[in-house]
Structure 1
Amino acid sequence: MSGTKVIRVGDDYEVFIGRGVADQVADHVGDAMRVLLVHAPAVADKAEQVAASLRTGDRQVVVRVLPDAESAKQIGVAADLWATLGQAGFTRTDVVVALGGGATTDLGGFVAAGWLRGVPVVQVPTTLLGMVDAAVGGKTGVNTAEGKNLVGAFHSPSAVVCDLDLLHTLPWADLVAGFAEVIKCGFIADPQILRLIESDPEAALDVDGEVLPELVSRAVAVKARVVAADPRESSLREILNYGHTFAHAIEQVEHYRWRHGDAVAVGMVYVAELACRAGMLDETIVAEHRRILDLVGLPTRYEPGRWDELLTAMSRDKKTRGATLRFVVLTDIAEPARLEGPDPQWLREAYDAVS
């Protein structure tokens, strides 16, 4: 399509970024005779349109609406969808299509990964967070009472379709929250992202403007390069978790009432403060974190008095090894590193600095 940006993720699949591209989802399901379309409640109208476009010839399209947001990421929801696939006779050549935010694409990918040990999934993220992070990379999963995304699988999609027009369905607060993952990509790999936001924050936040498509494309390109080099998060890919250790802890103690992007924003400030105390990052870069996040309206602080809960939650983080906490940090912009077993005093001081 004219105006569509195509970004390849290794040799596995492509990400299509443009306006109106959700109307082309049928092009990405091949000759599948059965399609399960799962969608978030907020995009029911678009789901009906996509389902209609998929119903060609003898193809069977089963549509299921998911619980809203993180409520979708439960093993019980996945089990119900597996039952649906079994009752409809889905085979390994049939396809799951996930239309919604990051929770929807996480759950849809997990269902596809589990059914018959893996059937194709086409991801159609409808949020900024989903476009630049959750839908790209093949990480799927559900939450448990013990933490976020602790049960999951690596399962690359067949395609990712990022229709920028669907961002009009987003509440303003959700659009802003998605910028945390965009800004994260700027700090870990592409400083031009930061410069674009700094030069005109209002233009960056304009869904109909020319800056946002470039920001989305740049953020997806960062993730695509890292995922292609480390598809199963054995080393390099951990840099994509910048700010996420503290963020996931916030989400857990808040019972997922915080938006993921808001938690990541605070998490990036926390880990910048931690790296500063470890002598790895200059104070000016810590201040840069707060300034950039403030420009788009993202939070940079969390409430005091929750440290013990947060520390317990961080101990369950996927990067933790044994009793050793491990953090992705920066030594400079676009210079990520790893900090293992930081001094407990640094951990607490960094928390004090963000609370």
Structure 2
Amino acid sequence: MSSTTIHPSVRGAAASSGHRDDGHALIAEDGRRLAASWFEPPQGSARAVALVSAATGVPRGFYAAFAQWLASRGYAVLTYDYRGIAGSREGALRRERATMRDWAVLDMSAALAAAELRREGRGLPLLLVGHSFGGNCIAFARGVERADAILGVGSQLGEPRLYPGVHGAVAQVFFRAWVPSVVAAFGHLPGWALGPGAQPLPAGVARQWGAWGLRRGWAYADPAMAPHRSASAVLAPVHLWGIDDDLTYAPPRAVDALAAQFRNAAVQRHQLAPADVGRRRLGHFGVFRRDPGPRAWARLLAPIEAATPALRTAGLQPLG
């Protein structure tokens, strides 16, 4: 499917950090407040800035261990919650009017603006990290073409035709029948409708997720998104990673379809096998858990830092 919700496998992934500052709020163009956290390097000043954009319905806290690790290497790292999710939820979910378009066009743009402000003055390089939806839609954020590099993990075009066998059939039923019927009954998409441990989604987010899933070309073929589509303006390195045992959410063909959107960028496709980082299974969420943690994160970062001159010469702490 195009983007993801919290699964039991992501619980407990966050790590506490003495360098985490939760006293931040992003303000989107429409005035909506978004909860955010900054992770700063433990010693000295930042050498680079990283923006981490989450999968659908996943709170920013899930990425805290990863953000802390990036900070230990010299990045100033920003994580945030999309409207209607976790710290950015306001009031009853049934009254929330958020859509996926809002997440991509308004919330991602607000986060990107904050990351750019952090880099100003010193000319720090900027790395955008997206998990699932966070990588699917970052190209709709204002100013994405000014980033020095984009790293997507489990990010894809969520069209059922791109999914193998039973996974494609399940996605068809999910988008065509399950999402609209459950939202009609409850006024939002409850967590149980997505699986154990999942976060509920606002009705508008769920409906647009379903509509994009049934559209050939996904969000990139939605006329309403055309004015915000900036993938072709990206010239920087774009590295997209698929996980070998992640066929339910981001199989190789779906990741390849997203890669094709960045037609002018220096795109590289990578696959990660669980055995590469000493695991029997990773799935869609396992890469961001504390175990395998740095072993996996160093593998993800090494190619894109090597391919990005501004990151390669930033003086970051060695990978390890």
Give the TM-score category using the shorter length: 0.3 to 0.5
Q: Please say which structure displays the higher CA radius of gyration.
A: 1
Normalised by the size of structure 1, how large is the TM-score? 0.32
- Bigger relative contact order (CA 8 A; separation at least 6): 2
TM-score by length of 2: 0.34
